[in-house]
């Protein structure tokens, strides 16, 4: 039936109303995501692999607050870096403190190392961490405003062997997660002896080109010349290729450190690509830096390097250190899309039919749980069919069916969810009968 004008306009109004309601409802802030129950198996898989790795390499867990004094990052990341200039979430407390949501964890860990005198422990100190980081980035696939890192830091030794061990650990991590198609890029950015000299050379080379390079590079030329090497803009590529090379301008010590790193990588039969344009986005690095990619993807899965001056920047003495962190979201995206299957927990599903059975079921469910059996249920549902459906959806190995008859006879039916075979057993033997079948 054709609608009257009045009806149509009423309809439009109510649709408009619905739209408004939607606009007023809440969702996660841009670039931030919920991690829903169905995805937790992937996160557990990654965290378990990371913790297994930490044990194998004798690393200890450290946790620092998500909020730090903004100064921790202002002093250490470098004034002219994107993270500091554009991406920090800063908040002022009522008491007037300026705090930052941590954009990364290396600087906070060094702050903690100094604050708690961890230099008195056996050195190098080996610590690992995982948790959320915050950067106000231009949000897009694989680049988020809240993301998670799993990282490792070796603090208190300058030997190149630790640079390589860190890189090997990151590879080992990805191997444990069955990610094999990986590319390792390494470079060195020298030290405070050779880098300033090189930066001047770079500025001398770029100054006559100032009008030809992109806007970002014009700024980099003044504030952070090393990042000229990192420019992805088409117009700058040719100039980049012909720029003086840092490798040819390293001091003796940095030269032999880098040579040792490459030799150790070769001895360990680790394929790598030297990338003279790799400079990293955080300023606390010196000497070795690395990034790990997967397949053709140009977003790094993991990255890190040496940061021998960070302790000094934060007010401590000179403490050489090296570390790296893996981007958990980026890695989870790969393991989820691959053939890797996350382990589904082994569980039984307790089906109680009728009020009497529901009441009698609780002590038996507790008994099973105390014996280490994972028990799921949907006691709010009444019918056997709907509860069996739920058991199936949850991939339970066994369903335990408990109706009025079973309450009366003090028995329970154990159903194998794979082949449908059912057996009635005595309620007093429920734990041993279930455990026997789960073995």
Q: Which of 51, 66, 314 is nearest to 169 (CA)?
A: 51
Binding track, positions 343-362, relative to ligand HAM; x by CB under 6 A? --------------------
Q: Which of 280, 301, 288 is nearest to 262 (CA)?
A: 288
| CA–CA distance, 26 with 401 (Å, rounded to integer) | 41
Output the smallest distance, CB 323 to ligand HAM, in A: 3
| CA–CA distance, 78 with 173 (Å, rounded to integer) | 29
Q: Which of 152, 163, 159 is nearest to 127 (CA)?
A: 152
Contact segment (CB under 6 A) with ligand HAM among 194-202, 211-219, 302-310, 334-342 equals 302-310
| CA–CA distance, 129 with 149 (Å, rounded to integer) | 8
Which long-range CB contacts under 8 A does 224-230 form with residues at least 24 apart? 224/78, 224/80, 224/81, 224/283, 225/199, 226/189, 226/195, 226/199, 226/202, 226/279, 227/80, 227/279, 227/281, 228/202, 229/202, 229/276, 229/277, 229/279, 230/277, 230/278, 230/279, 230/281
Task: Supply 316's token pair.
Answer: 């401590």
Output the smallest distance, CB 341 to ligand HAM, in A: 23
Quick one: which of 143, 374, 381, 437 contacts ligand HAM (CB under 6 A)? 143
Quick one: which of 125, 217, 303, 360 contacts ligand HAM (CB under 6 A)? 303
Q: Which is nearer to ligand HAM, 275 or 378 (CB)?
A: 275
Cα distances from 114 to residues 101, 125, 309, in angstroms, run 20, 12, 13
Residue 124 sits in the site that holds ligand HAM (CB under 6 A): no
Q: Which is nearer to ligand HAM, 305 or 320 (CB)?
A: 305
Q: Which is nearer to ligand HAM, 51 or 146 (CB)?
A: 146
Quick one: which of 324, 334, 348, 406 contacts ligand HAM (CB under 6 A)? 324
Residue 314 sits in the site that holds ligand HAM (CB under 6 A): no
Q: Which of residues 243-282 bind ligand HAM (CB under 6 A)?
A: 281
Quick one: which of 153, 283, 333, 377 contacts ligand HAM (CB under 6 A)? 153
Quick one: which of 45, 195, 220, 330 contacts ligand HAM (CB under 6 A)? 330
Given the DSSP bridges, would you call strands 375-377 and 422-426 parallel, antiparallel or unpaired?
A: unpaired
Output the smallest distance, CB 102 to ligand HAM, in A: 10
Q: Which of residues 76-115 bind ligand HAM (CB under 6 A)?
A: 104, 106
Output the smallest distance, CB 412 to ligand HAM, in A: 49
Q: Which of 240, 248, 197 is nearest to 220 (CA)?
A: 240
Q: Which is nearer to ligand HAM, 104 or 308 (CB)?
A: 104
Q: Which is nearer to ligand HAM, 153 or 377 (CB)?
A: 153
Residue 151 sits in the site that holds ligand HAM (CB under 6 A): yes
Residue 308 sits in the site that holds ligand HAM (CB under 6 A): no
Output the smallest distance, CB 307 to ligand HAM, in A: 6
- Sign of the alpha-carbon dihedral angle for 126, 129, 134, 138: positive
Q: Which is nearer to ligand HAM, 168 or 379 (CB)?
A: 168
Q: Which is nearer to ligand HAM, 126 or 330 (CB)?
A: 330
First to last CA, the chain: 64
Given the DSSP bridges, would you call strands 98-101 and 89-92 parallel, antiparallel or unpaired?
A: antiparallel
Residue 290 sits in the site that holds ligand HAM (CB under 6 A): no
Cα distances from 191 to residues 47, 196, 252, 323, 380, in angstroms, run 34, 8, 11, 17, 66
Residue 334 sits in the site that holds ligand HAM (CB under 6 A): no
DSSP-derived secondary structure for 105-165: SHHHHHHHHHHTTGGGSSSSEEEEEEEEEE-----BTTB-SEEEEEEEEEES---HHHHHH
Contact segment (CB under 6 A) with ligand HAM among 13-21, 145-153, 225-233, 393-401 equals 145-153
Residue 149 sits in the site that holds ligand HAM (CB under 6 A): yes
Quick one: which of 39, 137, 260, 312 contacts ligand HAM (CB under 6 A)? 137
Output the smallest distance, CB 273 to ligand HAM, in A: 16
Dihedral of the alpha carbons of 174, 177, 178, 180, in degrees to the nearest 10: -10
Residue 42 sits in the site that holds ligand HAM (CB under 6 A): no
Contacts with ligand HAM by CB under 6 A lie at 104, 106, 135, 137, 143-144, 147, 149, 151, 153, 281, 300-305, 307, 323-325, 327, 329-330
């Amino acid at each position: 039936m054709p609608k009257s004008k009045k009806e149509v306009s009423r309809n439009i109004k109510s649709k408009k109303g619905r739209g408004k309601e939607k606009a007023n409802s809440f969702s996660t802030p841009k670039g931030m995501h919920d991690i829903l129950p169905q995805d937790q198996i992937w996160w557990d898989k990654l965290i378990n692999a990371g913790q297994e790795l930490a044990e194998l390499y004798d690393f200890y867990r450290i946790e620092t607050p998500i909020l730090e004094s903004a100064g921790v990052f202002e002093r250490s990341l470098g004034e002219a870096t994107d993270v500091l200039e554009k991406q920090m979430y800063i908040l002022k407390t009522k008491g007037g403190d300026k705090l930052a949501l941590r954009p990364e964890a290396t600087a906070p860990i060094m702050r903690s190392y100094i604050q708690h005198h961890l230099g008195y422990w056996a050195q190098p100190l080996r610590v690992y961490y995982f948790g959320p980081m915050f950067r106000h980035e231009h949000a897009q696939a694989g680049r988020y405003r809240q993301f998670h890192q799993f990282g490792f830091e070796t603090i208190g030794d300058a030997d190149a062997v630790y640079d390589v061990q860190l890189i090997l650990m990151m590879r080992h991590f990805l191997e444990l997660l069955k990610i094999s198609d990986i590319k390792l890029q390494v470079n060195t950015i020298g030290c405070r002896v050779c880098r300033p000299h090189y930066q001047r050379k770079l500025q001398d080379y770029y100054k006559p080109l100032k009008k030809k390079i992109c806007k970002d590079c014009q700024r980099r030329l003044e504030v952070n010349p090393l990042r000229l090497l990192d420019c992805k803009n088409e117009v700058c590529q040719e100039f980049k290729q012909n720029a003086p090379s840092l490798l040819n301008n390293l001091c003796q010590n940095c030269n032999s450190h880098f040579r040792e790193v490459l030799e150790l990588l070769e001895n360990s039969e680790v394929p790598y690509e030297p990338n003279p344009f790799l400079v990293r986005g955080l300023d606390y690095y010196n000497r070795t830096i690395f990034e790990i990619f997967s397949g053709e993807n140009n977003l790094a899965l993991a990255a890190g390097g040496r940061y021998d001056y960070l302790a000094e920047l934060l007010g401590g003495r000179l403490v050489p250190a090296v570390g790296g962190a893996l981007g958990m979201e980026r890695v989870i995206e790969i393991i989820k899309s691959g053939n890797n299957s996350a382990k589904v927990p082994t569980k039984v599903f307790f089906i109680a039919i009728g009020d009497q059975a529901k009441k009698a079921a609780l002590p038996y469910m507790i008994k099973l749980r105390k014996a280490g059996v994972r028990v799921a249920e949907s006691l709010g549902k009444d019918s056997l069919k709907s509860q069996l459906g739920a058991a199936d959806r949850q991939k339970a190995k066994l369903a335990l069916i408990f109706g009025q008859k079973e309450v009366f006879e003090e028995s329970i039916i154990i159903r194998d969810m794979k082949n449908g075979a059912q057996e009635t057993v005595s309620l007093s033997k429920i734990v041993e009968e279930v455990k026997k079948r789960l073995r």
